[in-house]
Amino acid sequence: MRPDGTLLMEFGSLGSSGGQFMNASGIALDSKGNIFVTDPFKQQVMEFTSAGIFVGAIGSEGTDAGQFEGPLGIVIDKDNTIYVADGRNGRVQKFSGAGNYLGSIGSAGTAEGQLGGPRWLALDGKGNIYILDNTRFRVNKFTTGGTFVSAFGSQGNRDSQFFNPQGIAVDPAGNVFVMDGLVVKKFDPSGHLLTSFGKQQISSGLGIALDPKGRIYVARNGPACVSIFRPVP
């Protein structure tokens, strides 16, 4: 899709065969333009060329290394390492660009640095990964090597708390944007709330992304559209 919203192409169809989707969820691109899509119903990550041609799939259902139980969020770093939020297994799994298993970040549990239900991911430019844990209503920060750094957030209706977090993004300055129900919340790199916006413009937010100019894109469920916001100071 072009920046003005013009549809360029679409690919995929409903089904269980290779290249078909049961529930396409997360999406990310590597440096070569290949497209990776998570499907939590098929317990896979599927790879397509930039032209939408199916290349192959990563993963299967299970709890072993390289298997998934509800994969959702996906991000790819500058080295084409793939990170996938493995929700019900309480971890983030790492794969090479060729789909080979490299390791995992985090483990299931309630202690600091453990994960309850990781769903959405974001990378900064300093080798850190931010994991939005919907079960524990918090953002966990790890190095991409798997070392726990910090966490912020809790369940509640206060400005700095989360009610229904559904997406995360990080800007070049390290500020963290979280889509929480009807609002977008912006936090500084230490997890302190800076501002929030969108309550009147967002009826049901499902995801968030930033472009190089700092514009904020919010996927909405009602009505089904994408809203674009100017950079927030």
Note the pLDDT tens digit of each residue in 79-99. 999 999 999 999 999 999 999
In this prediction the pTM is 0.93
pLDDT digits (tens, 9 = 90+) for 107-145: 999 999 999 999 999 999 899 999 999 999 999 999 999
Q: Among 104, 105, 71, which residue's Cα sits nearest to residue 88?
A: 71
Give me the helices (H) in the chain, please: none
Cβ-based neighbour number of residue 88 at 10 Å:
17
What beta strand segments (E) does the chain contain? Answer: 27-29, 35-39, 44-48, 54-58, 71-76, 82-86, 91-95, 101-105, 118-123, 128-133, 138-143, 148-152, 165-170, 176-180, 183-187, 193-197, 205-210, 216-221, 224-229
Instruction: Give the pLDDT of residue 202.
Output: 60
Distance CA 185, CA 164 (A): 12
Q: Is 88 helix (H, G, I), strand (E, B) or coil?
A: helix
Query: Does the structure show a pLDDT above 60 at 201?
Result: no
CA–chain centroid gap for 26, Å, is 6
Mean pLDDT of 51-57: 95
pLDDT of residue 203 exceeding 70: no
| Other beta carbons less than 10 A from residue 204's beta carbon | 14
Distance CA 86, CA 84 (A): 6
**Separation between Cα atoms, residue 105 and residue 130, nearest integer Å:** 11
Mean pLDDT of 5-33: 91
- The token duo for 173 is 């300055």
The three-class DSSP label of residue 67 is coil
User: Which residues, in sequence order, are CB contacts of 37 under 8 Å at separation 6+?
Assistant: 12, 21, 24, 25, 26, 27, 45, 46, 48, 74
